Structure 1
Amino acid sequence: MQRVVQFAGPRQVEVVTADSVPLPPGHLRVRTRYSGISAGTELTAYRGTNPYLTRSWDPEARIFRDGGPGVAYPVAGWGYSEVGEVLEVSPELTGVPGMPGPGDLVWGIWGHRDEGIVPAERMAGHRLPDGLDPLAGAFARVGAIAYNAVLAAGIHLAEDVAVFGQGVIGLITTRLARLNGAAVTAVDALESRLAKAAEYGASRTLDARAGAVAEQIREATGGRGADVAIEISGAYPALHEAVRSVAVGGRVVASGFYQGDGIGLRLGDEFHHNRVEIVSSQIGGVPPGLAGRWSVDRLQRTFLSLVAAGQVDVKSLVSHVVPVADAAEAYVLLDERPAEALQVVLEF
């Protein structure tokens, strides 16, 4: 038997038991040690706002269709940033180059559950880098989301970049943009996160509650505006302020998971008059112009290599390590008291 975290309904979290299953050919069995909770996409399923809960995604037409949900409650085993120990490898995989073996610590995606049955093609090369704390491996996916946004931004050396939202992914974005040679302005509504952004290399921080964010960014850049803004909070007013903040012909990377109608986003204003480019960044793929060289797997591996080399400190982003039995409390914390938490990790 194994434990699985599931959403029984909006804001209803259960830890249920499920049978362990035999290992099919071409798979690995992994015993989970840590599983990070996504405070963005995952909370949309927890709150009941995720579009898959009301509409169906047509993968061929690549549109959402009305007529029924693509995902229904209970939603079991959500989660996409896991670390664990390989327990068993399908016999035909023994000796395959790059394939982890029993006892190896690995990172990947198998959800909030005691045990993952993972296809081999998703685990090749996924051994945790030597010397890396296993807890850090839970950042492979969120780090890749931030990395993807930075690639989509197309930052050049010494450009001015504004990053809206300084949660876990926003902070990592700030750090990666700084490593990429940008002067970063970090924007958030929580003082504690702005202080962390300064530690992560932001040249200046702006409190969104004080208003006049775009005006302050333009003033700091001699009236020009930021070359690029990366919006990662998923709030439409923040996306609108990001549009207001960039220079004529500037780029805004929309990397948040926006819910519902775009209240607060006015496309007839600065977007129209300054010919602003809005680019969507989503972890299902890399920017099209880089697809010949980059992949999501490369994003994840490269990010973990930066962590292992000490270029990005992720352990300081872990605010809570919660036993899986207390998973419901972890979601309440992230949903109702976000100022008290950064990365919340379930421990199995």
Structure 2
Amino acid sequence: MERVVQFTGPLQVEVAEHETAPLPPGHLRVRTRYSGISAGTELTAYRGTNPYLTRTWDPEARLFRDGAAGMEYPVAGWGYSEVGEVTEVSPELRDTPGVPAAGDLVWGIWGHRSEGIVPVERMVGHTLPEGLEPLAGAFARVGAIAYNAVLSAGINLGEDVAVFGQGVIGLIATRLAQLSGATVTAVDALDVRLTKAVEYGAARTLNARTDSVAEAVRAATGGRGADAAIEISGAHRALHEAIRSVAVDGRVVASGFYQGEGLGLRLGDEFHHNRVQLICSQIGGVPPQLAGRWTVDRLQQTFLRLVNEGRIDVKSLVSHVVPVADAAEAYTLLDRRPADALQVVLEF
């Protein structure tokens, strides 16, 4: 039997069991070891705020359409940060160069389920680097999201960068920005996360609840403002403060998954008067100016290489490893007590 985590309604989680499906041609079967929970995208489905629950995405028009939901409860098998062991390879693929073999540890996206049946083209190049512990493979996707935001910011050596939101992806972005040569100011509303941000390379920290963030960033940069800001919390007010914090012609990368209307975002103020560049970073693609050399796969593979080289520590980001049977408790923790958790990982 296959176990699958699913949302049966807002704030409702269960672990369902299904018959194991036969392996179709061109696929691999992977037994899951770990699956990381996204505290951003996944919680939108858990809470019932995801736009797909009320509208439909038209991939040809690239527009959301009102009138019908593109997704309904139960929402089964969400998750995009899995690592596991190949247990079966479609016969025609065996001994094919580049195709993972039975027994190989691989990373990829097949959702919170005890096994994944994955098309081979999505697994080529996804064998875990030798020497890397399996749990680290669950960070390939979240690491790529942070990496994409940092590349979108176009950071130059010696620049000042503010990173808004110091959850898992924000902490990784802070470290990657520092590795790129930036002096990083980390911003969050939780002091425990700001303390962690210092460990990940932040030169300065600001509490969004108690500090005048934009004013403090400008004071630290001689009145100029940050060269770039990365907003990764998904809060509209944080995006507005990021816009207020950058220099004239500064860059703001919006990498959060914003929900609902933009309450607190005023585009007639600093955005307009300082000619701020607002850039969207979304993991469906890399920055257009880099598309000739970079791909999403390269982002993921390079991130895992940096982890394997010891340049980025992901192990200390794992606050909880939760048996899949207790998945409901994991989501309650992330939803209600965010100060108590960073990366929560389901163990199968």
> What is the TM-score when the length of structure 2 is the normalising length?
0.99
Q: Deviations over 1:60-111 (max 9, x none)?
A: 0000000111010000000000000000001111122211100000000000
Amino acid of the residue matched to residue 301 of structure 2? R
Question: How far off is 1:155 after superposition?
Answer: 0.3
Is 1:103 paired with 2:99?
Answer: no
How much has 1:210 moved relative to structure 2? 1.0
Residue 14 of structure 1 pairs with residue 6 of structure 2: no
In the other structure, the counterpart of 1:328 is: 328
Map of 1:74 onto structure 2: 74
The answer as to 2:121 corresponding to 1:121 is yes
Alpha-carbon shift at residue 252 of structure 1 (Å)? 0.2
Aligned partner letter, 1:119: P
Q: Distance in 2 between matches of 1:292 and 1:46?
A: 37
Number of the residue aligned with 1:61: 61
3-state SS, counterpart of residue 210 of structure 1: coil
User: Which residue of structure 2 aligns with residue 85 of structure 1?
Assistant: 85
The correspondence of residues 195-344 of structure 1 with structure 2, limited to 5 A, is: 195-344=195-344
Query: In the alignment, what sits opposite 1:139?
Result: 139
The structural deviation recorded for 1:347 is: 0.1
User: Following TM superposition, by how much is the alpha carbon of 1:337 offset from its aligned partner in structure 2, in angstroms?
Assistant: 0.2
Distance in 1 of aligned mates of 2:64 and 2:148 = 23
Structure 1 SS opposite 2:256: coil
CA distance in 1, matches of 2:97, 2:186: 42
Q: Which residue of 2 aligns with 1:167?
A: 167
Match of 2:194 in 1: 194
Name stretches of at least 5 consecutive residues in structure 1 with no aligned partner.
Answer: none
For 1:16, what is the secondary structure of its paired residue? strand
Q: 1:297, 1:93 → 2: CA distance?
A: 21
Shift of 1:150: 0.4
> CA separation in 2, counterparts of 1:246 and 1:95?
53
Q: After the TM superposition, which segments of 4 or more aligned residues of structure 1 sit over 3 Å from their partners? A: none
Moved more, 291-300 or 162-171: 291-300
Question: What TM-score comes out, normalization by structure 1 length?
Answer: 0.99
Q: Give the length in aligned residue pairs.
A: 348
* Cα distance in 2 between the residues matched to 1:334 and 1:152: 28
Cα offset, 1:211, TM superposition: 3.1
Counterpart residue number, 2:176: 176
Partner residue, 1:24: 24
Matched residue type, 1:32:
T
Unaligned 5+ segments in structure 2 are: none
Corresponding residue SS for 2:242: helix
* Aligned residue number for residue 5 of structure 2: 5
How does 1:26-65 map onto structure 2 within 5 Å? 26-65=26-65
Distance 2:279 2:211 in 1: 24
Q: Distance in 1 between matches of 2:98 and 2:309?
A: 21
Q: Deviations over 1:122-160 (max 9, x none)?
A: 000111111111011000000000000001000000100
